[in-house]
Structure 1
């Protein structure tokens, strides 16, 4: 997979979120959400879910887990995704043909 595949998958998921996103919660999650709502008193419960997603995203980026998953699935890193170019494209390494080591020094 590639950077283009990642961009396509992100756009597809983003488009799928346009409607209301319904999430089923287990008992433990409901309890934790209720406690957070009581303690933090947000305007609406959706705000807590948004904060939770931001925190999960941030910790995944900071620990390197996102880069690991992206490299495993798409062979790119988060920085490459943000820039829209792979490291090879940024450095120009993909512009040169590969050398044939067997024929390199033949005259």
Structure 2
């Protein structure tokens, strides 16, 4: 997989979200959500879900798990995704011509 395939997969996933996401919660998650809502008193439960997604995303990036999964699935890192270029593109490694072994030492 490549950076282009990652970008396409991201766009497909993003467009698949409706404005209203419905979630089914198990008993433990409902209990934790109720406690968080009671303690933090957000304007709505949706605000807690947004915060939770931000925290999960941040911890996944900071611990390197995002890079691990992106490298495994798409052969890119999060930094490469953000820049829109792979490391080889950034360093120019992809711009060298291929070597012609027969004419390698001819001038």
Please confirm whether the aligned pair reaches a TM-score higher than 0.5, indicating the same fold.
Answer: yes
**After TM superposition, what 4+ stretches of structure 1 lie above 2 angstroms from structure 2?**
97-107
Aligned pair in 2 of structure 1 residues 101, 68: CA closer, same or farther (>3 Å)?
farther
Please report the TM-score for the alignment, with normalisation by the length of structure 1.
Answer: 0.91
The aligned counterpart of 1:61 is 61
The aligned counterpart of 1:27 is 27
Deviations 1:27-82 (A, max 9, x none): 00000000000000000000000000000000000000000000000000000000
Please report the TM-score for the alignment, with normalisation by the length of structure 2.
Answer: 0.91
Aligned residues: 107
Aligned-pair Cα RMSD in Å: 1.8
The aligned counterpart of 1:11 is 11
The aligned counterpart of 2:44 is 44
Structure 1 portions without partners, runs of 5+: none
Deviation at 1:99, TM superposition (A): 3.6
Structure 2 portions without partners, runs of 5+: none
Deviations 1:13-36 (A, max 9, x none): 111113311111100000000000
The aligned counterpart of 1:70 is 70
